[in-house]
Structure 1
């Protein structure tokens, strides 16, 4: 049996509170609460949910890019990242890289593409001297860009080309895990498919493992082996991609699925309209956090907190809902 590349146990991320949260008796805003999952080597785990549910915070916490301390345990290839000091984790950082959502703001406008890639290679001592430029040009070719682009600036590229540069930068250190934070949401639909295909090809060629964060379930379906659905800082459903799209268990997942357009003229899917807005993390509902918006909620849902548990018919399919046996 394969060992997980990364294993997360009870991860929570709380940002320091302001005057508003202090007046409510809280000590801060909990963006991610008691999240547990694992990703196998070579696998793609899709992470979906509405904006503000904690997806990006979770990804940044795994890459240690947040200015706050996270609680819980994170093991990477069996090594405990949560106990590592900053100096020790700096060596580990090569193994975990991130592709950011905005392909323009994530690039330094004052540096050429080649200078950005060369800086990463030089700082981490991947190569030296003339070999630095050779390595940078190889990375450009790997992501489908011409070597001549080495001396160009980010504003000279299209959005899709800039995102390819972001991918090249993430690959510069030969990582094992790449956290993709909505890498195609800012791109045109035709360019989205090109980037998705590039990521899949790179995964096969380099043996990469992905945490693919997105809010578009139709995109996640095409690239993910398993999918985790997140709501208000919690994972409410986790299953294989085929199983989740064929038989969603959580009412929130069903509502998300109903919003996916049907690619056949004349065919319609019954739309589930959720009532109300996503609750504030400063004032979480009692019991199940989804019960105020849930079309299937029962009185006990407001009092009992559901756990993410395997369903009887499929142990690999876990749902956090009191109404699912």
Structure 2
């Protein structure tokens, strides 16, 4: 046997002892597909979606061209984080003319509220998912039919009117209007227009850090104004009440200088409190904290958790 034939025979024996590459590849792909399928399924279940997952895998062997020169830079942009808050379960499908959204609130009783206003002389409208323990009482409610099997309770007149009902039998909804012509018919029309939401967020962009024991309590929040000029307000009420405001409107800054959140601020009298701390904590964003002694104001302001990139484009829209 020639030397060339001996070499070929050695290679054939070596290949015969090697494991079946197709069986190995099949096991690897099966494990990979299983892991990927499970991860995808978990992520979808976490999003509240039930699906059947199939992961087809196609292998294509093709010539690979090595890159020449440095690899191109890849620029990635992190998506903006959604503002913390609570999601409205229902939304209005109809609005009276000229009304735009002017405020969203998380109330101390757990209610979620949206408010619409318009030019001078326009109606004022409130739509609320009431908290679980809220009772809207009236001595003389009028029963109105909202839909098949769903009744509401109306009270008031065109000057001020209210309507309470539960479209799904368990979620209490509340409408309140002021200066709304034909209020009873209009509120019933609004109630009949309600549809599921699950997207609209009632924002709560501020969280207290440190608070004195006698100032700890529920912390209702509100966002009001316009898309360009808005105010965020949050309070914590115990024996003493701490008020926090973030605004795009430059406030007066009297009093003594103090460093807060790494910025120069001031503490002095305020129209709403004997002591108020004011600091431009970010460009065009002023923080005002009031209701406590000066040293406490500095500590509260320094430990607040404020969401980045505050923006409320829904203000002033329908």
TM range (shorter): under 0.3
TM-score in terms of structure 1 length: 0.24
TM-score in terms of structure 2 length: 0.24
Q: Which has the higher helix share?
A: 1
Look at both structures and tell me which one has the larger radius of gyration over its CA atoms: 2
- Higher RCO (Cα < 8 Å, 6 or more apart): 1
Q: Which has the higher strand share?
A: 2
